[in-house]
Structure 1
Amino acid sequence: MTDNELLLAISDMMDKKLNHITKDVQEVKKDIKVLKTEVENIDIRVKNIELNQETKVLPRLNTIESCYTSTYDRYKDSVEDYEAIKQDVSIMKKVIQEHSIKL
């Protein structure tokens, strides 16, 4: 074989190997395009979720928190009164029972 024939044979072998690699690269590029599209769709969905949270969920959550806090503030002070009332009722029960026995 001459040098030119050897070079052509080597070139053909390289072309065959590079063809396979080129096909693989093209497939990867297609996959990347699909992934980019999917990521764009996910970005849109995330933005919609964020907007929904900002405009609907958070204001309602703040309202719930406000109601809960005000209710808690009202009732936390009355707990001490409740304990005092329980003691008073207990004493009144004993006195009524003693008076009932005496009558």
Structure 2
Amino acid sequence: MMENQKMDLILQKLGGIEGGLASVREDVRSLQGDMQTLKGDVKTLKEDVQTLKEDVQTLKDRVTNIEITLENETNRNIQLIAEGHLNLARKLDEALKELQPNIMYHLKVNHLDGEVTKMKRMLNMA
């Protein structure tokens, strides 16, 4: 082979390599663009996660406040109301016990009053 032919062959091979390198360069540019997109997506995700963390912390604070309110106010108020109802129930039972004999006396008086009325009618007729 002559030297010119060798040079032509080398140039042909270099041309093929350059074409391959151009393709690799295009792939690298495409990958760089994809990396930029990925970085943007990751940044957005980080911001979203931070927002979620803040929201969760806010919810935790609200739940804690609700629990404190339930424990310190609502539960105590319910207990006070329940104790009041127990006292009312006891007072009602006591009042009913006192009324029971009075009712019996009223029934007896009503019966006797009816008997007296009957006797008066009989005496007036006689």
Say whether the fold is shared (TM-score over 0.5): yes
- State the one-letter code of the partner of 1:9: G
Of the candidates 99, 105, 110, which is equivalent to residue 86 of structure 1?
A: 110
Residue 11 in structure 1 maps to residue 31 in structure 2: no
C-alpha separation between the residues in 1 aligned to 2:49 and 2:119? 95
1: distance between equivalents of 2:65 and 2:27?
A: 56
Extract unaligned runs of 5+ from structure 2: 1-24
Count matched residues. Answer: 101
RMSD over aligned Cα, in angstroms? 2.6
In structure 2, distance between residues paired with 1:90 and 1:12: 108
**1:1-26: per-residue Cα shift (whole Å, max 9, x none)?**
53322222112222223333322222
Deviation string 1:5-63 (CA, Å, 9 cap, x unpaired) is 22221122222233333222222211111111111111111111223444x43443332
Counterpart residue identity of residue 54, structure 2: K
Pairing partner for 1:69 from 73, 86, 93: 93
Structure 1: gaps (5+ residues): none
Residue identity over aligned pairs, in percent, reads 16
Determine the structure 2 residue equivalent to 1:51: 76
What CA distance in whole angstroms lies between the structure 2 residues aligned with 1:36 and 1:25?
Answer: 16
Q: Which residue of 2 aligns with 1:21?
A: 45
Q: Choose 1 or 2 for highest CA Rg.
A: 2
Residue identity in the other structure for 2:43: N
Deviates more, 1:13-22 or 1:28-37: 13-22
Tell me what 2:8 maps to: none
Cα distance in structure 2, aligned partners of 1:40 and 1:24: 24
- TM-score where L is the length of structure 2: 0.61
